[in-house]
Amino acid sequence: MAAVERAAVPGHVVIVGAGVGGLRTAEALRSGGYEGRLTLIGAERHPPYDRPPLSKQILEGRWEPERAILRDRAGLADLDVAVRLGTRAVALRGTTVDLDDGESVTGDAVVVATGLVPRRMPHQPDGVASLRTLDDVLALREAFESAESLIIVGGGFIGAEVACAARRRGIAVTVLEALGAPCERVLGREVGVLAARLFREAGIDLRLGARILRMPDGRTIEFADGTRLSADVVLASVGGIPDLTWLGGAELRIKDGVGCDARGRAIGMDGVWAVGDAAAWWDPVTGEHHRAEHWSTVTDQAKRVAGDILGAELPAPSPPYVWSDQFDLKLQVAGRTGNAGEVVALHGSGLEGGPVKGTVAGYFTGDALSGVVAFGAPKPFMRYRSLIASGAGRSAVFEEARR
């Protein structure tokens, strides 16, 4: 008989990163029938928790932090996984992970799921807030108790959600965005203008094209034109960078992430997979590597990696999806938007200056619908998600819009 190509199922899988990607990988391995050893290593002291509620329910004080925990210690024990929380990986040698407490864990397979660390501004002084972890949001929530003013550097989704939460508490909010519209990388300029209107209608001082020269201290911004602006709290919300310094350059970096094939196998690293925000998977549809920062993508990738490790058939990927609760409406994004070819209004009149709420924009690449953005229009939005997945053309999309 010819040699079987598939490698044997490993006896010990080590997952580095105890966020949603790491946890979902562990869960998918167990539900896929994996009976070998499992180790989950997390730099934070908390058990795996869900990040979307941090800048929403938890920052607003509607949820206590425990509610975001996905699996507590007992739940992890049920999964029969050895957990090392509050322990940071410092190096990877083959499939051996060195830890900051001096110990090492050797697996037959390693899954990199370390996610992002907040990007810092150049020469960022101490005292500037960031929002990535549960501890970050609890510190920010406490700062809001006494703050009267807030500057947010970065007008992305997180910046918008924090701005809303602060406005609800009566805090004066200024948002500084370098680009010409908020959330421009995701929405594109044309639709980003609608987001800008939402900021301003909520009483937020939104400054687009902001040029920051430096921060003389943790509460003061100095602009390129020499003017200064101070607030009780400054939040840097300028995105994140993959937390990969511990790999020491052993990986092939693509778009700042670990370059992977379409199954999540790290290129050039035997026995290593990567999932989530820190992984740049090959996308056969677009013919390039893509690093997504979406909850739905990491969940999808975790299942696929677990399947690949077990030699099982891989589930079909679902189109990327992200949502944000802003200004009392739900902003929903599916598929590829941002730099798609053409934006067409499908519902509502926001793009022509009418109300933002109820506006649905379609993004077309050639004839095919590649993405959809909806402002407070969940019902129409849902109908387009399957059209994106099936690569529907304009005529089918416009027919749906007329329904």
Binding region for other proteins (CB under 8 A) out of 102-110, 150-158, 265-273, 318-326: 318-326
Binding region for other proteins (CB under 8 A) out of 197-205, 279-287, 291-299, 340-348: 291-299
Contact with other proteins (CB under 8 A) among 33, 316, 339, 379 = 379
Contact 37, 12 (CB under 8 A): yes
Contact 363, 372 (CB under 8 A): yes
Q: By CB under 8 A, what part of segment 8-67 binds other proteins?
A: 50, 52-53, 67
Q: Which pair of tokens denotes residue 202?
A: 């909520």
Contact 139, 127 (CB under 8 A): no
Q: Is residue 375 near other proteins by the rule CB under 8 A?
A: no
Q: By CB under 8 A, what part of segment 75-94 binds other proteins?
A: 75, 78
Q: Is residue 383 near other proteins by the rule CB under 8 A?
A: yes
SS3 82: strand
Binding mask 326-365 for other proteins (x = CB under 8 A): ----x-x---------------------------------
Contact with other proteins (CB under 8 A) among 246, 295, 327, 363 = 295
Query: Cα–Cα distance between 398 and 386 in angstroms, integer?
Result: 14
Binding region for other proteins (CB under 8 A) out of 143-151, 248-256, 294-302, 306-314: 294-302
C-beta of 170: minimal distance to other proteins in Å? 26
Beta strands in 171-247 (DSSP E): 172-177, 205-208, 212-217, 220-223, 228-230, 233-236, 240-242
Query: Cα–Cα distance between 127 and 147 in angstroms, integer?
Result: 14
Query: Cα–Cα distance between 367 and 334 in angstroms, integer?
Result: 17
Contact with other proteins (CB under 8 A) among 36, 46, 70, 125 = 70
Nearer to other proteins, 383 or 394 (CB): 383
Nearer to other proteins, 107 or 380 (CB): 380
Q: Is residue 321 near other proteins by the rule CB under 8 A?
A: yes
C-beta of 379: minimal distance to other proteins in Å? 6
Strand partners, 186: none
Nearer to other proteins, 330 or 394 (CB): 330
Contact 80, 38 (CB under 8 A): yes
Q: Which pair of tokens denotes residue 209?
A: 């094209």
Contact 175, 203 (CB under 8 A): no
Q: Is residue 73 near other proteins by the rule CB under 8 A?
A: no
Strand partners, 302: none
Beta strands in 243-300 (DSSP E): 253-254, 257-260, 272-274, 279-283, 288-290
Q: Is residue 382 near other proteins by the rule CB under 8 A?
A: yes
C-beta of 39: minimal distance to other proteins in Å? 20
Give the total of residues touching other proteins (CB under 8 A): 24
Contact 347, 382 (CB under 8 A): no
Name the residues that contact other proteins, by CB under 8 A: 50, 52-53, 67, 70-71, 75, 78, 295-296, 299-300, 318, 321, 323, 330, 332, 378-379, 381-383, 385-386
